[in-house]
Amino acid sequence: MSFKRTIHAVDTHAGTPMRVITGGVTHIPGNSVYEKMKWLEKNDDQLRKLMLREPRGYPAHCCNIIVPPSHPEADAGYIIMEQIEYPVMSGGNTISVVTVLLEMGMLPMKEPVTELVLEAPAGLIRVKAECRNGKVKNVTFQNVPAFAAHLDAVIDVPHLGKVTVDVGWGGMFYVIADVRQFKGLKLIPQHGKEIARISSMIREAAIEQLPVAHPDYPGVGITITQLSGPTDDPNADWKNVVTMASGDFSWDDPTTWTGALDRCPCGTGTCAKMAVLHAKGELPLNKDFRHQSIIGNVYTGRLLEETTIGDKTAVVPTITGTSWIYGLNTFVLDHDDPFTEGFTVGDIWA
C-alpha cells in the first residue's frame, strides 16, 4: 500500500504519553540538533501537528524524533515537539527517549548501569540508566543549568486578582504559583479543569507582565505554568501540576482559558522549581528533592553545584525518573485524507 507519510514510533508514558519517532522521517538539515529543530519548525511543522493533534494525538501528548547527533561526544540526538512549541529541553521526554533507545536495542544496554550522552536542542545531556533484565528501571540525567528569573513577583490576573509567582528556567520558562493562594483548589485529578483554567490565566498574565530572557535562546519566553504545594505523601517532598497550552489564548474568549495537565512530575519543571527554592535559600546543594505529579508518581531532583548563565547565578540539576513503553506503532497519512495536519475540537482543546 502507498501512503503520503509513514511514521514508525514507540509510545511511552510517565503518566503523560511521550511518543518517540524511530523511523520514517527523512534527513533533517543542520549542523547541530538545535539547527535541525529550527529547520523542522520552519519547513515541516506538519509533522508535529500530525503526530500531536487528533486522531493520532490528544492535548497532553508530547513527541520526539530520534536524529543523528552532530556533536562527536553524543550517542544520539533528539528533537522535542509539544502542542505549541519546540522546547530546547524536556525532562520526561529525555527519560522516554533513553528508555526507547536502550529497550528497543537502538543503543547497547549495559547492566547494571548504561552511561550515554544525548544531544538535545539545548546541548549535551549526560545520562546514567539503571538497567536490569533488559529493562530500564530508571534514568538519571544532568540537565542544562537552571536559574530563577523572578522571585515573589506580584502580577494582576484578570478575574483572579493579585497572584504571587516565581519564574524559573529549567529548560523552559515556568511561571510557578503556590496553589494555596486559591481557596478550595487542590492538586488532585478531580480539580483538573479548574487547575487548567487558573493556570492558563496566570501564564498569560505573566507573559504580559514579567519579561524574561535567556542569553542562549533569544525570543524564548514564558510558555508554561506550574501550580505547586505541599503533599501528605511520605515518599515525596512537594507536589506540582504543570499546565501546557493546547491552543491560542484570548482574554475575550473564556473557552480558551484552559490547557492540558502534565500527568508526569515534569523534569524541566522540577529543575525550575529547585532553582527557585535554592535562590530563596530553601533547597541546598546535594539534597534530594522528590517532586510528585497529580497522579502520584515521583521524579527525584538534586542540585550538584552553582554556576552562571550570562550574568545570572544558576544551578546544575539532575533528575531521576522512569518511563514505560506501552505501544509499538506505525502511523500513516492516507493520500485522500483531507486532515493533513490533524485537527482539534473545542470539547477538549482550547
Q: Could you list the active site residues?
A: 90, 266
List Cα–Cα distances, 158 to 150, 177, 209, 335, in angstroms: 20, 16, 12, 46
Q: Determine the longest span between alpha carbons in the chain, in angstroms.
A: 61
The residue count of the chain comes to: 350
**Cβ count within 10 A of residue 192:** 16
**Cβ count within 10 A of residue 348:** 13
Q: Which set of grid coordinates corresponds to residue 250? A: 484570548
- 3-state secondary structure at position 108: coil
The one-letter code for the residue type at 216 is D
Q: Is 286 exposed, middle or buried (0-12, 13-18, 19+ CB in 10 A)?
A: exposed
Backbone angles phi, psi at 124, to 5 degrees: -80, 135
Whole-angstrom Cα distance, residue 240 to residue 280? Answer: 18
Whole-angstrom Cα distance, residue 269 to residue 294? Answer: 13
Q: Is 346 exposed, middle or buried (0-12, 13-18, 19+ CB in 10 A)?
A: exposed
CA-based nearest residue to 283, from 293, 275, 294, 291: 275
Whole-angstrom Cα distance, residue 227 to residue 165? Answer: 10
